[in-house]
Homo-oligomer: A and B are copies of this chain.
Amino acid sequence: SRRYTITLLPGDGIGPEVISVAKNVLELAGSLEGLEFGFKEMLMGGAALDLTGVPLPEETLSAAKQSDAVLLGAIGGYKWDNNEKHMKPETGLLQLRQGLKVFANLRPASVLPQLVDASTLKKEVAEGVDLMVVRELTGGIYFGKPRGFGTNEDGQEIGFNTEVYATYEIDRIAHIAFETARKRRGKLCSVDKANVLEASMLWRKRVMAVASEYPDVELTHMYVDNAAMQLVRNPKQFDTIVTNNIFGDILSDEASMITGSIGMLPSASLGKEGPGLFEPIHGSAPDIAGQDKANPLATILSAAMLLKYGLGEAKAAQRIETAVLDTLNRGFRTGDIYSAGNKLVGCKEMGEEVLKSV
Protein backbone atom coordinates (compact mmCIF):
# COMPACT_ATOMS: atom_id res chain seq x y z
CA SER A 1 0.00 0.00 0.00
CA ARG A 2 1.21 3.49 -0.90
CA ARG A 3 1.56 6.07 1.86
CA TYR A 4 1.24 9.82 1.46
CA THR A 5 1.65 12.76 3.80
CA ILE A 6 -0.99 15.45 3.32
CA THR A 7 -0.81 18.93 4.85
CA LEU A 8 -4.25 20.21 5.80
CA LEU A 9 -4.71 23.97 6.05
CA PRO A 10 -8.26 24.57 7.30
CA GLY A 11 -7.79 28.36 7.45
CA ASP A 12 -10.70 30.68 8.24
CA GLY A 13 -14.48 30.95 8.09
CA ILE A 14 -16.02 27.80 6.63
CA GLY A 15 -12.53 26.41 5.93
CA PRO A 16 -12.37 24.06 8.95
CA GLU A 17 -15.85 22.62 8.23
CA VAL A 18 -15.21 21.80 4.61
CA ILE A 19 -11.71 20.46 5.27
CA SER A 20 -12.94 18.09 7.96
CA VAL A 21 -15.55 16.64 5.60
CA ALA A 22 -13.16 16.42 2.63
CA LYS A 23 -10.53 14.70 4.75
CA ASN A 24 -12.92 11.85 5.52
CA VAL A 25 -13.83 11.43 1.87
CA LEU A 26 -10.18 11.47 0.83
CA GLU A 27 -9.33 8.87 3.44
CA LEU A 28 -12.09 6.48 2.43
CA ALA A 29 -11.59 6.78 -1.32
CA GLY A 30 -7.87 6.28 -0.83
CA SER A 31 -8.21 3.25 1.44
CA LEU A 32 -10.45 1.53 -1.12
CA GLU A 33 -7.57 1.89 -3.59
CA GLY A 34 -4.96 0.76 -1.08
CA LEU A 35 -3.67 4.21 -0.17
CA GLU A 36 -2.73 5.34 3.31
CA PHE A 37 -2.58 8.96 4.41
CA GLY A 38 -0.78 10.74 7.19
CA PHE A 39 -2.50 14.08 7.78
CA LYS A 40 -0.80 17.07 9.33
CA GLU A 41 -3.00 20.05 10.19
CA MET A 42 -1.24 23.44 10.23
CA LEU A 43 -2.10 27.09 10.85
CA MET A 44 -2.65 29.48 7.95
CA GLY A 45 -4.43 32.74 7.15
CA GLY A 46 -6.33 34.71 9.77
CA ALA A 47 -6.21 31.74 12.14
CA ALA A 48 -2.42 31.89 12.00
CA LEU A 49 -2.40 35.68 12.35
CA ASP A 50 -4.43 35.53 15.52
CA LEU A 51 -2.20 32.92 17.13
CA THR A 52 1.27 33.67 15.74
CA GLY A 53 1.13 37.19 14.29
CA VAL A 54 1.91 36.10 10.74
CA PRO A 55 -0.40 34.73 8.04
CA LEU A 56 1.96 31.90 7.02
CA PRO A 57 4.14 30.63 9.88
CA GLU A 58 7.47 29.09 8.89
CA GLU A 59 6.47 25.71 10.32
CA THR A 60 3.42 25.69 8.08
CA LEU A 61 5.44 26.34 4.94
CA SER A 62 8.08 23.78 5.82
CA ALA A 63 5.49 21.12 6.70
CA ALA A 64 3.77 21.86 3.38
CA LYS A 65 7.04 21.56 1.47
CA GLN A 66 7.83 18.22 3.10
CA SER A 67 4.44 16.71 2.37
CA ASP A 68 3.16 15.08 -0.80
CA ALA A 69 0.28 17.49 -1.27
CA VAL A 70 -1.50 20.40 0.45
CA LEU A 71 -5.25 20.74 0.88
CA LEU A 72 -6.43 24.24 1.81
CA GLY A 73 -9.91 25.27 3.02
CA ALA A 74 -10.28 29.03 2.73
CA ILE A 75 -8.67 32.13 4.19
CA GLY A 76 -9.67 35.68 5.08
CA GLY A 77 -12.52 37.52 6.72
CA TYR A 78 -13.77 41.01 7.60
CA LYS A 79 -11.73 40.94 10.79
CA TRP A 80 -8.40 41.19 8.98
CA ASP A 81 -9.56 43.19 5.93
CA ASN A 82 -8.00 46.44 7.03
CA ASN A 83 -4.72 44.94 8.18
CA GLU A 84 -1.53 46.17 6.61
CA LYS A 85 -0.27 44.13 3.72
CA HIS A 86 2.18 41.88 5.59
CA MET A 87 -0.58 41.10 8.10
CA LYS A 88 -3.27 40.14 5.60
CA PRO A 89 -4.43 36.51 5.28
CA GLU A 90 -4.14 36.95 1.48
CA THR A 91 -0.44 37.70 1.84
CA GLY A 92 -0.03 34.30 3.50
CA LEU A 93 -1.67 32.64 0.53
CA LEU A 94 0.62 34.45 -1.91
CA GLN A 95 3.64 33.42 0.20
CA LEU A 96 2.45 29.82 0.18
CA ARG A 97 2.06 29.80 -3.61
CA GLN A 98 5.47 31.34 -4.02
CA GLY A 99 7.06 29.07 -1.40
CA LEU A 100 5.70 25.94 -3.06
CA LYS A 101 6.56 27.37 -6.51
CA VAL A 102 3.15 26.35 -7.81
CA PHE A 103 3.13 28.45 -10.97
CA ALA A 104 0.22 26.72 -12.71
CA ASN A 105 -3.29 27.16 -11.40
CA LEU A 106 -5.90 24.89 -13.01
CA ARG A 107 -9.48 26.00 -12.54
CA PRO A 108 -12.15 23.90 -14.19
CA ALA A 109 -15.58 25.46 -14.65
CA SER A 110 -18.22 23.13 -15.89
CA VAL A 111 -21.97 23.12 -15.71
CA LEU A 112 -23.35 19.82 -14.43
CA PRO A 113 -26.66 18.80 -16.01
CA GLN A 114 -28.02 18.41 -12.45
CA LEU A 115 -27.25 22.05 -11.66
CA VAL A 116 -27.83 23.86 -14.93
CA ASP A 117 -30.67 25.88 -13.37
CA ALA A 118 -28.28 27.39 -10.82
CA SER A 119 -26.65 29.48 -13.54
CA THR A 120 -27.95 33.00 -14.14
CA LEU A 121 -27.37 32.34 -17.83
CA LYS A 122 -30.13 31.00 -20.02
CA LYS A 123 -30.25 27.23 -20.06
CA GLU A 124 -29.27 26.96 -23.73
CA VAL A 125 -26.23 29.16 -23.08
CA ALA A 126 -25.11 27.45 -19.86
CA GLU A 127 -25.70 23.79 -20.58
CA GLY A 128 -22.67 21.90 -21.73
CA VAL A 129 -20.15 24.51 -20.61
CA ASP A 130 -16.94 22.68 -19.77
CA LEU A 131 -13.84 24.81 -19.71
CA MET A 132 -10.53 24.97 -17.89
CA VAL A 133 -8.70 28.16 -16.99
CA VAL A 134 -4.94 27.73 -16.70
CA ARG A 135 -3.77 30.75 -14.73
CA GLU A 136 -0.11 31.72 -14.22
CA LEU A 137 0.17 31.95 -10.44
CA THR A 138 3.61 33.03 -9.24
CA GLY A 139 4.50 35.87 -11.59
CA GLY A 140 3.14 39.02 -13.16
CA ILE A 141 1.81 42.01 -11.26
CA TYR A 142 1.19 39.95 -8.10
CA PHE A 143 4.92 39.57 -7.48
CA GLY A 144 6.61 42.01 -9.87
CA LYS A 145 9.17 44.50 -8.58
CA PRO A 146 9.51 47.43 -8.10
CA ARG A 147 6.30 47.90 -6.13
CA GLY A 148 5.23 50.14 -3.30
CA PHE A 149 4.50 53.77 -2.55
CA GLY A 150 6.46 56.89 -3.37
CA THR A 151 6.21 60.43 -4.71
CA ASN A 152 6.27 61.63 -8.29
CA GLU A 153 8.04 64.72 -9.71
CA ASP A 154 5.17 66.92 -8.54
CA GLY A 155 5.47 65.64 -4.98
CA GLN A 156 2.24 63.68 -5.31
CA GLU A 157 1.93 60.35 -3.52
CA ILE A 158 1.94 57.38 -5.90
CA GLY A 159 1.23 53.66 -5.56
CA PHE A 160 2.83 51.35 -8.12
CA ASN A 161 3.22 47.75 -9.22
CA THR A 162 5.09 46.02 -12.01
CA GLU A 163 3.55 43.61 -14.46
CA VAL A 164 6.51 41.58 -15.69
CA TYR A 165 7.00 38.22 -17.38
CA ALA A 166 10.20 36.47 -18.39
CA THR A 167 10.44 34.02 -21.24
CA TYR A 168 10.82 30.94 -19.00
CA GLU A 169 7.74 31.87 -16.95
CA ILE A 170 5.59 32.12 -20.05
CA ASP A 171 7.06 29.01 -21.63
CA ARG A 172 6.43 26.74 -18.65
CA ILE A 173 2.82 27.82 -18.17
CA ALA A 174 2.25 27.54 -21.92
CA HIS A 175 3.51 23.94 -21.85
CA ILE A 176 1.11 23.09 -19.02
CA ALA A 177 -1.72 24.73 -20.94
CA PHE A 178 -1.00 22.88 -24.19
CA GLU A 179 -0.71 19.56 -22.30
CA THR A 180 -4.00 20.32 -20.58
CA ALA A 181 -5.75 21.19 -23.84
CA ARG A 182 -4.36 18.07 -25.48
CA LYS A 183 -6.00 15.90 -22.79
CA ARG A 184 -9.27 17.80 -23.27
CA ARG A 185 -10.79 18.87 -26.59
CA GLY A 186 -7.55 20.11 -28.13
CA LYS A 187 -8.40 23.83 -28.18
CA LEU A 188 -6.38 26.48 -26.39
CA CYS A 189 -7.26 30.18 -26.18
CA SER A 190 -4.49 32.45 -24.90
CA VAL A 191 -5.81 35.66 -23.35
CA ASP A 192 -3.72 38.84 -23.19
CA LYS A 193 -3.78 42.57 -23.87
CA ALA A 194 -1.10 42.52 -26.56
CA ASN A 195 -2.61 45.55 -28.30
CA VAL A 196 -1.50 47.71 -25.37
CA LEU A 197 0.94 45.99 -22.97
CA GLU A 198 4.52 44.95 -23.71
CA ALA A 199 4.27 42.17 -21.10
CA SER A 200 1.38 40.79 -23.15
CA MET A 201 3.27 41.14 -26.42
CA LEU A 202 6.03 38.90 -25.05
CA TRP A 203 3.37 36.56 -23.68
CA ARG A 204 1.80 36.17 -27.11
CA LYS A 205 5.15 35.74 -28.85
CA ARG A 206 6.23 32.95 -26.48
CA VAL A 207 2.88 31.16 -26.54
CA MET A 208 3.13 31.12 -30.33
CA ALA A 209 6.69 29.76 -30.12
CA VAL A 210 5.71 26.97 -27.72
CA ALA A 211 2.75 26.13 -29.97
CA SER A 212 5.08 24.66 -32.59
CA GLU A 213 5.59 21.67 -30.25
CA TYR A 214 1.84 21.03 -30.13
CA PRO A 215 0.65 20.93 -33.73
CA ASP A 216 -2.37 18.88 -32.62
CA VAL A 217 -3.69 21.68 -30.41
CA GLU A 218 -5.62 24.52 -32.04
CA LEU A 219 -4.34 27.84 -30.66
CA THR A 220 -6.25 31.12 -30.72
CA HIS A 221 -5.59 34.50 -29.08
CA MET A 222 -8.09 36.85 -27.51
CA TYR A 223 -7.84 40.24 -25.83
CA VAL A 224 -8.87 40.15 -22.18
CA ASP A 225 -11.76 42.60 -22.58
CA ASN A 226 -13.18 40.50 -25.38
CA ALA A 227 -12.68 37.31 -23.33
CA ALA A 228 -14.69 38.84 -20.47
CA MET A 229 -17.48 39.44 -23.00
CA GLN A 230 -17.27 36.10 -24.75
CA LEU A 231 -17.56 34.22 -21.44
CA VAL A 232 -20.98 35.83 -21.04
CA ARG A 233 -22.01 35.66 -24.70
CA ASN A 234 -21.07 32.07 -25.45
CA PRO A 235 -18.99 30.24 -22.84
CA LYS A 236 -19.26 27.00 -24.79
CA GLN A 237 -16.78 28.30 -27.36
CA PHE A 238 -13.98 27.75 -24.80
CA ASP A 239 -12.10 24.55 -24.02
CA THR A 240 -8.83 25.58 -22.33
CA ILE A 241 -7.91 29.20 -21.56
CA VAL A 242 -4.38 30.24 -20.58
CA THR A 243 -3.62 33.65 -19.16
CA ASN A 244 -1.51 35.66 -16.75
CA ASN A 245 -1.97 35.98 -12.99
CA ILE A 246 -4.25 39.03 -12.77
CA PHE A 247 -6.35 38.31 -15.88
CA GLY A 248 -6.66 34.72 -14.65
CA ASP A 249 -7.87 35.92 -11.28
CA ILE A 250 -10.65 37.92 -12.93
CA LEU A 251 -11.63 35.55 -15.74
CA SER A 252 -11.60 32.36 -13.67
CA ASP A 253 -13.95 33.93 -11.15
CA GLU A 254 -16.21 35.14 -13.94
CA ALA A 255 -16.15 31.68 -15.54
CA SER A 256 -16.95 30.00 -12.24
CA MET A 257 -19.94 32.25 -11.64
CA ILE A 258 -21.22 31.39 -15.10
CA THR A 259 -21.66 27.81 -13.91
CA GLY A 260 -23.85 29.19 -11.12
CA SER A 261 -22.33 26.88 -8.56
CA ILE A 262 -19.08 28.20 -7.19
CA GLY A 263 -19.69 26.04 -4.14
CA MET A 264 -18.87 23.13 -6.45
CA LEU A 265 -15.62 24.24 -8.07
CA PRO A 266 -12.16 22.96 -7.12
CA SER A 267 -8.70 24.12 -8.14
CA ALA A 268 -5.20 22.74 -8.37
CA SER A 269 -1.94 24.71 -8.21
CA LEU A 270 1.07 22.84 -9.51
CA GLY A 271 4.81 23.37 -9.85
CA LYS A 272 7.53 21.54 -11.75
CA GLU A 273 8.17 19.30 -8.77
CA GLY A 274 7.21 19.24 -5.11
CA PRO A 275 3.75 19.17 -3.59
CA GLY A 276 0.77 20.77 -5.28
CA LEU A 277 -1.75 23.03 -3.53
CA PHE A 278 -5.45 22.15 -3.81
CA GLU A 279 -8.30 24.39 -2.73
CA PRO A 280 -11.92 25.21 -3.49
CA ILE A 281 -12.27 28.42 -5.47
CA HIS A 282 -14.86 29.85 -3.09
CA GLY A 283 -13.89 32.08 -0.19
CA SER A 284 -14.15 31.75 3.56
CA ALA A 285 -17.81 32.93 3.70
CA PRO A 286 -17.58 34.36 7.24
CA ASP A 287 -21.34 35.04 7.27
CA ILE A 288 -22.19 31.32 7.36
CA ALA A 289 -19.10 30.04 9.19
CA GLY A 290 -19.74 27.55 11.98
CA GLN A 291 -23.38 27.03 10.99
CA ASP A 292 -22.96 23.74 9.15
CA LYS A 293 -24.35 25.38 6.00
CA ALA A 294 -21.29 25.36 3.75
CA ASN A 295 -21.16 23.29 0.58
CA PRO A 296 -18.21 20.89 1.01
CA LEU A 297 -18.31 19.59 -2.57
CA ALA A 298 -15.74 22.06 -3.94
CA THR A 299 -13.25 20.93 -1.30
CA ILE A 300 -14.14 17.27 -1.85
CA LEU A 301 -13.54 17.76 -5.57
CA SER A 302 -10.28 19.54 -4.72
CA ALA A 303 -9.30 16.36 -2.89
CA ALA A 304 -10.05 14.50 -6.12
CA MET A 305 -7.75 16.88 -8.01
CA LEU A 306 -5.15 16.28 -5.30
CA LEU A 307 -5.31 12.55 -5.97
CA LYS A 308 -5.24 12.93 -9.75
CA TYR A 309 -2.81 15.79 -10.34
CA GLY A 310 -0.91 15.76 -7.06
CA LEU A 311 -0.36 12.06 -6.46
CA GLY A 312 -1.10 10.50 -9.83
CA GLU A 313 -3.82 8.35 -8.21
CA ALA A 314 -6.42 8.65 -10.95
CA LYS A 315 -8.54 5.73 -9.77
CA ALA A 316 -9.10 7.07 -6.27
CA ALA A 317 -9.81 10.48 -7.81
CA GLN A 318 -12.40 8.94 -10.08
CA ARG A 319 -14.08 7.33 -7.06
CA ILE A 320 -14.59 10.75 -5.49
CA GLU A 321 -15.85 12.37 -8.67
CA THR A 322 -18.33 9.57 -9.24
CA ALA A 323 -19.47 9.71 -5.62
CA VAL A 324 -20.17 13.43 -5.87
CA LEU A 325 -22.26 12.99 -9.03
CA ASP A 326 -24.08 10.06 -7.45
CA THR A 327 -24.89 12.13 -4.34
CA LEU A 328 -26.27 14.91 -6.53
CA ASN A 329 -28.28 12.38 -8.50
CA ARG A 330 -29.75 11.12 -5.23
CA GLY A 331 -31.03 14.66 -4.75
CA PHE A 332 -28.88 15.97 -1.90
CA ARG A 333 -28.24 19.72 -2.02
CA THR A 334 -26.70 22.31 0.27
CA GLY A 335 -28.46 25.69 0.42
CA ASP A 336 -26.34 27.37 -2.26
CA ILE A 337 -27.37 24.85 -4.93
CA TYR A 338 -30.81 23.95 -3.61
CA SER A 339 -33.79 23.82 -5.93
CA ALA A 340 -37.32 22.59 -5.32
CA GLY A 341 -37.81 18.83 -5.24
CA ASN A 342 -34.38 18.11 -3.73
CA LYS A 343 -33.26 17.34 -0.18
CA LEU A 344 -31.70 20.24 1.68
CA VAL A 345 -28.73 19.13 3.81
CA GLY A 346 -25.94 20.79 5.77
CA CYS A 347 -22.20 20.48 5.32
CA LYS A 348 -21.76 17.38 7.51
CA GLU A 349 -24.72 15.48 6.13
CA MET A 350 -23.58 16.19 2.58
CA GLY A 351 -20.23 14.71 3.56
CA GLU A 352 -21.89 11.60 4.97
CA GLU A 353 -23.91 11.11 1.81
CA VAL A 354 -20.80 11.39 -0.34
CA LEU A 355 -19.08 8.81 1.91
CA LYS A 356 -21.96 6.41 1.25
CA SER A 357 -21.39 6.80 -2.48
CA VAL A 358 -17.62 6.42 -2.46
Contacts of A233 in B (CB 8 A): 120, 257
A:185-236 near B, CB below 8 Å: 193, 195-203, 224-226, 228-234
- Name which of A76, A159, A196 has the most chain B CB atoms within 10 A of its CB: A159
Q: In the complex, what residues of B have CB within 8 A of residue A231's CB? A: 254
Q: How far is the CB of A189 from chain B (nearest CB, A)?
A: 16
Is A196 in contact with B121, judged by CB distance below 8 angstroms? no
A149-B198, A198-B147 are contacts. A166–B158 as well, Cβ < 8 Å?
Answer: yes
Residues in B whose Cβ lies below 8 Å from that of A196: 90, 94, 142
Assess whether B149 is in contact with A168, with CB atoms less than 8 Å apart. Answer: no
A253-B228 CB under 8 A given contacts A122-B120, A149-B202: yes
CB distance from A178 to the nearest CB of B (A): 20
Say how many copies of this protein the assembly contains: 2
B229 with A228: CB separation less than 8 A: no
Of the candidates B120, B157, B168, B249, the one whose C-beta lies within 8 Å of that of A156 is B168
A159 touching B164 in the complex, CB below 8 Å, given contacts A195-B90, A196-B142, A257-B233:
yes
Indicate the size class of the contact surface on chain A: 35 or more
The yes or no answer to A66 lying at the interface (CB within 8 A) is no
Question: Which residues of chain A from 106 to 122 have any CB-CB distance to chain B below 8 Å in the complex?
Answer: 120-122
Q: Report how far A252 CA is from B224 CA in the complex, Å.
A: 12
CA distance A165 to B12 in the complex (A): 32
Footprint of B on A, CB under 8 Å? Answer: 76, 85, 88, 90, 94, 120-122, 125, 141-142, 144, 147-149, 152, 154, 156-168, 193, 195-203, 224-226, 228-234, 246-247, 249-254, 256-258, 262
